[in-house]
Chain A
Amino acid sequence: MGEREIAIVSFAEVIVERSDRDDCELLLPVLKRALGDVGLTQQDIGFTVSGSSDFLGGRPFAFVMATDVLGAWPPIRESHVEMDGAFALYEAWVRLQHGDLDTALVFAFGRPSQGPLHDVMSLQLDPYYMAPLRPDALSLGALAARAALDAGLTSEDELARIAGERRGVPTSTSEPYLREPLRAHATPTLRDGAAAIVLAAGDGARALSKRPAWIRGLDHRIEPHSLGARSLTRSVSTEQAARGAGALGFGADVAELHARFAHEEPLLSRALELPASTRVNPSGGALAQDPVMVTGLCRLGHAARAVHEGAARAIAHATSGPCLQQNLVCTLEAR
């Protein structure tokens, strides 16, 4: 059975250093813009799904409050993942494969400025052995970076170069370590934000967009939870998702990678077998702006935007869990 033709037809995002708005205030203009850009309203949407985490604000059911801005009456088909919005997009893509609905709205929101994000992320570790040690997310990033350096996959010079290019500022290995061997420039720039994407199937997508970004393949895979039970220097789940999504040999013009740490870029590029001709993270990626829970969806949005604006092929990657535990790969193309 062939997969149904589905495309990203619209993308909107807002990213700020620190939002004084609540989730609904942040989301409302983003949703209106993503829908309005293709002349749709919520009533035109078949399936709505969001990604967020209540751990960012330390309050339960923030994702339920967020439905206030949807206008969910008459009742709509709605779902949520406690993950980055990229994984919500996966659910929407699967839902549209059923064939009875033609459009989907995917959105995500996150405000890491509300709490000690790097420490909060230690709660996703196993509760018996790892979480009680409270290694923060930066320390785990540094652990994996050390493994990558020791394996000869990258160098501190290369990490500084990658960070400088993504951030658009000069970087140097003379800067002090934040978590050895990571300097601040090689770690994510936390931001508050929200984003939304509209998916449409078949002729519906052609009617909404002059140049839809067609999803050629979409896959995501997960590795063992325990950091000791998997390789930190080779992303096997990215390799498998890349195969599933048809990313190997795809010849993308652009790849938007959800690399929260500089050393993850060469690791992911290798897993995706990216050729030198593929531009990696022209948006700057998470090193420049990391609106946690939104960052992965933004990778899909920026890859799609590249296709909307003329690229023939693009790859988007999103991750979740400590040290690239789970990985999603999407191939997008113009037709």
Chain B
Amino acid sequence: MSGPVTRFKSPVRFVFDVPAGPTVSRFLAAVAEGRLFGQRCPTCAKVYVPPKVACPRCGDPLSPEQLPVKETGTVTSFCVVNVPYEGQTMKLPYVYASILLDGADIPFPHLVDAEPADVRMGLRVRATWSDALGPTLESIRAFVPTGEPDAPFDAYKEHL
């Protein structure tokens, strides 16, 4: 063989078994029943959905009480995904957004099923559940616009 070697194969495959931990397990068990809840920081009173082990602001464990939250919320920020990547299940282009559920203080990322040109900060959305529920946030198929008037910026500016 002549000429430079420009590539060679070195396949790597490892399987990891990552325990979710009690905090995440409780939340995912609820999601598998089609239910969402938040947990409150005892120090700053912020409600986290999904719950975290500790409040990142205060470092304190969240109170164990499961607070109900609505399935409606507000898009606080979003991006339009145009680039294909391996393992992608969505049809391009699609919208990935930060969604602040009503009753929560911290947004979490999920999909918005709408024309990208129609998605904007303040858009009101509602969760639509998948037919196949399981211990995964994919149990929420996507969020869809509710048709309500947009939330005013002041309503969510503290939650960006």
Contacts and interface: CB of A to CB of B under 8 A. Distances in A.
Contacts of A100: none
B55 A24 contact: no
A58 B14 CA distance: 8
Contacts of A120: 14
B58 A68 contact: no
Given A22-B20, A25-B21, A25-B23, A116 B53 contact: no
B57 A69 contact: no
Given A68-B53, A123-B12, A59 B18 contact: yes
Interface string A133-167: 00000000000000000000000000000000000
A114 interface: yes
A120 B20 CA distance: 21
Contacts, number: 76
Contacts of A131: 10
Nearest to A69: B54
B103 interface: no
Nearest to B57: A73
Interface in A110-124: 113-116, 119-120, 123
A131 B20 CA distance: 30
B19 interface: yes
Contacts of B18: 57-59, 114
Contacts of B16: 57-59, 114-115
B147 interface: no
A19 interface: yes
Nearest to B8: A132
Interface string B17-30: 11111111000000
Interface of B: 8, 10, 12, 14-24, 52-61
Top 3 closest pairs, chain A to chain B, by CB: A71-B59, A22-B21, A24-B53
Given A25-B22, A120-B14, 11 more contacts: A20-B21, A57-B16, A69-B53, A69-B54, A69-B59, A71-B58, A72-B57, A73-B56, A73-B58, A115-B14, A115-B15
